[in-house]
């Protein structure tokens, strides 16, 4: 569950199936009672219809927790942690960072750092489109050491400079408004 909408969908399915839960967080559900095999099957089936899946493998669950923590940190909080990402993940998830990093890379095929960069660039794209902050303010907000560093990472991921990306989006928007 990477969004509040996903969380609501899971809540609805649990309610439909009569599954009582104690805790429902992004990426995790703690049930009050043991869930029957039939309920598990029905939950998996119903969630798959919505594009969600139930994870019951420990590594998969840990990977989802890492992804959710990073996504939450980059997309849903205005303040990035005051410590570096590795310390933040380690503290938040209760595992040694080396273990988290190795498990993540082994399962996903990319490093945690690459995943963070991809999500930071996605957030930068959103901020560019909103047009409320200039590139310097965005670099500061996203904790880049400089505008140049942000621009280099942005170009490496998207193939475009931030200013060209913004121009393309503005041109598309203008064309849509002409119709």
Cα–Cα distance, 138 to 135 (Å, whole number): 5
DSSP for 96-156, written as a single string: -HHHHHHHHHHHHSS-HHHHHHHHHHHHHHHHHHHTSS-HHHHHHHTT-S-HHHHHHHHHH
Residue range 10-43, pLDDT digits in tens = 888 888 888 888 877 766 777 888 888 888 888 8
Note the pLDDT of residue 119. Answer: 94
Which residues contact residue 83 at a Cβ distance below 8 angstroms, ignoring those fewer than 6 apart?
91
Higher model confidence: residue 1 or residue 43?
Answer: 43
How confident is the model at residue 64, as a pLDDT?
A: 86
Phi, psi for residue 53 in degrees, rounded to 5: -135, 155
- pLDDT tier, 158 (very low <50, low <70, confident <90, very high otherwise): very high
Report the share of the chain in percent with pLDDT over 90. Answer: 37
Q: Does the reported pTM lie above 0.75?
A: no
**80-124 pLDDT, tens per residue?**
556 688 999 999 999 999 999 999 999 889 999 999 999 999 999
**In this predicted model, which residue has the larger pLDDT, 174 or 74?**
74
Q: Which two tokens stand for residue 144?
A: 């880049």
Chain segment 52-88, per-residue pLDDT in tens: 777 666 788 889 889 989 988 888 776 655 668 899 9
């Amino acid at each position: 569950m990477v969004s509040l909408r996903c969380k609501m969908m899971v809540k609805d399915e649990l309610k439909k199936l009569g599954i009582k839960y104690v805790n429902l967080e992004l990426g995790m559900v703690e049930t009050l009672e043991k869930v029957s095999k039939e309920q598990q099957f029905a939950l998996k089936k119903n969630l798959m219809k919505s594009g969600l899946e139930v994870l019951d493998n420990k590594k998969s669950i840990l990977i989802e927790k890492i992804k959710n923590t990073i996504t939450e940190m980059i997309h849903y909080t205005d303040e990035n942690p005051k410590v570096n990402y590795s310390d933040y993940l380690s503290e938040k998830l209760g595992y040694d960072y080396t273990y988290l990093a190795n498990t993540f890379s082994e399962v996903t095929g990319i490093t945690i750092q690459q995943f963070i960069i991809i999500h930071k660039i996605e957030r930068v794209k959103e901020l560019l489109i909103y047009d409320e902050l200039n590139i310097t303010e965005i670099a500061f907000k996203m904790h880049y050491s400089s505008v140049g560093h942000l621009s280099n990472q942005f170009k490496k991921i998207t193939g475009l400079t931030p200013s060209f990306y913004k121009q393309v989006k503005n041109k598309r928007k203008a064309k849509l408004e002409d119709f």
